[in-house]
Structure formats: structure tokens, C-alpha cells
Amino acid sequence: MELLNTESSVTEAIDAPPLYVTQGRVEFRDVSFSYDPRKPNLQDMSFVAEPGKTVALVGETGGGKTTILKLLYRYYDPDKGRIMIDGQDIRGVSLDSLRDSFGMVPQDPALFNMSVLENVRYARLDATDTEIYEACQAAAIHNKILSFPDGYRSTVGERGVKLSGGELQRIAIARAILRNPSIVLLDEATSMVDAETEHLIQGAFRKLTRGRTTFVVAHRLSTIQHADQILVISNGEIAERGTHEELFALGGKYVALWSRQLSKKTDVVE
């Protein structure tokens, strides 16, 4: 009852109009935010994600990468600044229309103890079985599902406990594909899988993100080399920005992150 009676800090304006995504241009304009006033999490952050382009967010843990996605999804509102989608301030549109425009693949997808078919259909309740099969084929999970004892009717267990990490991620991707979103949010979606499974998932991502504005939070820098814009987030600020080649030429924080990852791999091999 306490949870149900808790009022959300994010409120929808009375008679808020729906969000109309025409191109998918996302702009953060001087955005500042803190969970605790004594410790700012984002400070005067400004950047633009052009329509159909991929923006990667990289940096140390706790730097503010996932917070950017939470603000975009409007789990929280900025303390200062504006977030715009195709020129519309997201605080002035209805929450349902805002969140309907996103397809999110989280690091830890939440599944219900129901069938695979019902879990994928959760993304769009009016989807036909054929549309679900097509989404799963695009997510490179269809054949794996058919190998289960009950196929698409197989139950996945509480929170998907009967599935491997790679299977969970690909079902989450199938959900996002079925949703047919305007903007895609990928929050460290390959951090828990092996290299072979990651290769399958990357192929599914390419289908999901084609022609869509995409935000990628990634720890594995090898997965974001081809992003149109890479933002290096450090202590709530954009320390560096550019393409993979441009950031390597700078020889700054991005190169340091790469060096650290490479040295970890070398230590594992040794």
C-alpha cells in the first residue's frame, strides 16, 4: 500500500499532447541533474543525436551514462536544462506517447514466468504470432526457441531463470524489434554474454537500429567502434566527443579506456 500511495516525482501536464516523432532528432540542452543535491550526477550536458545515427556513451562506472537514458525515458526530470525530441520538450508531452517511441534493451531484461510467446508479445499486445516469429528470427533466437521442448509455448521461469544470458538478451531484442520504435536505447546489452553470443547479438542489433536514432551504453569498447558519435562521460560531464578515429587521434581518456581493456585481456591470457 505504501508503494501504491507513493507519488511520482515525474508528473504529466494536464491535457499533455502526444509526442510526434517525425525524424528522431534528440537534443540535450544544458542538462544538469542530481539524485542527491550534494552530489551532481550530470552537469551542463549538451549534445545532439541526429536522426538515424548512433550515439555511444562510454566511460567509467558511475560517470552518468545510464542516468542519461533514465532522463530520456523520463524516469526523472532534469534539475536544469531541456531534453528535446524533434523540437518537443519531453516534459510537455504525454508519458505514454514518449515511452511508446522507445525500444529499450536493458542489461538485465525482466521476463515473466510465462511462455516465450507471451513474453515477446508483451512489447505489443496486438501482435500476431507470425509477427512474433519474424521478430525472433531478426533477433537470431527463433531456431533456438524451436529447439526448446515446447517451442514458443515453453515457460521461461521466474525472471527468465530457465534461459541463458544470451537467450534472455535476444528475447529482449525481439521485443524491441516487435515494438518497431523510433528511438532505440541499448544499456550495456552485451555485458553478460560470451564472444560467440555477442556476435549473434550484434547482428540482431544491426537489424534493430537500422534507420533509427540509437543510444548505446557500452563497457566493451569493441562494440561501439562504428558509432556515428562517441561521448566519453566522466564525472557527469562530456570529457571528449567524436568518432572512434577522431578520439584515438586525441590520445586522451578514450585511448586510456582502450588501453585498460586491452591490458585486462592480456592479463587473462597470461
Which of 228, 227, 254 is closest to 240 using CA atoms? Answer: 254
Q: Report residue 48's pLDDT band, with 50, 70 and 90 as the boundaries.
A: very high
Written as nine digits, the cell of 122 is: 508483451
β-bridge mates for residue 27, sequence order: 48, 84
Query: For 223-254, what is each residue's pLDDT tens digit?
Result: 788 889 999 998 888 999 999 999 999 888 89
Instruction: Give the pLDDT confidence score for residue 37 in this predicted structure.
Output: 84
Query: For 5-17, what is each residue's pLDDT tens digit?
Result: 888 778 888 888 9
**219 versus 115: which is more confidently predicted?**
115
Q: Report residue 165's pLDDT band, with 50, 70 and 90 as the boundaries.
A: confident
Q: Report residue 260's pLDDT band, with 50, 70 and 90 as the boundaries.
A: confident
Average pLDDT along the chain: 86
Instruction: Give the pLDDT confidence score for residue 62 in this predicted structure.
Output: 77
β-bridge mates for residue 232, sequence order: 58, 240
Instruction: Name the architecture of domain 8-101+183-269.
Output: 3-Layer(aba) Sandwich (3.40)
Query: For 188-221, what is each residue's pLDDT tens digit?
Result: 766 656 666 667 777 777 777 888 899 988 877 7
Cα gap 122→110, rounded to integer Å: 11
- Domain ranges in the chain with CATH number 3.40.50.300: 8-101+183-269, 111-180
Percent of the chain with pLDDT over 70: 94
Cα gap 26→68, rounded to integer Å: 12
The dihedral of CA 204, 138, 26, 16: what is its sign? negative
* pTM of the predicted model as reported, rounded to 2 decimal places: 0.85
Residue type, 15: D
CATH topology assigned to domain 111-180: Rossmann fold (3.40.50)
**227 versus 262: which is more confidently predicted?**
227
Distance of CA 127 to the CA centre of its chain: 22
Judged against a pLDDT cut of 90, whether residue 110 lies above it is answered with no
Instruction: Give the pLDDT confidence score for residue 168 in this predicted structure.
Output: 86
Instruction: Give the pLDDT confidence score for residue 190 in this predicted structure.
Output: 62
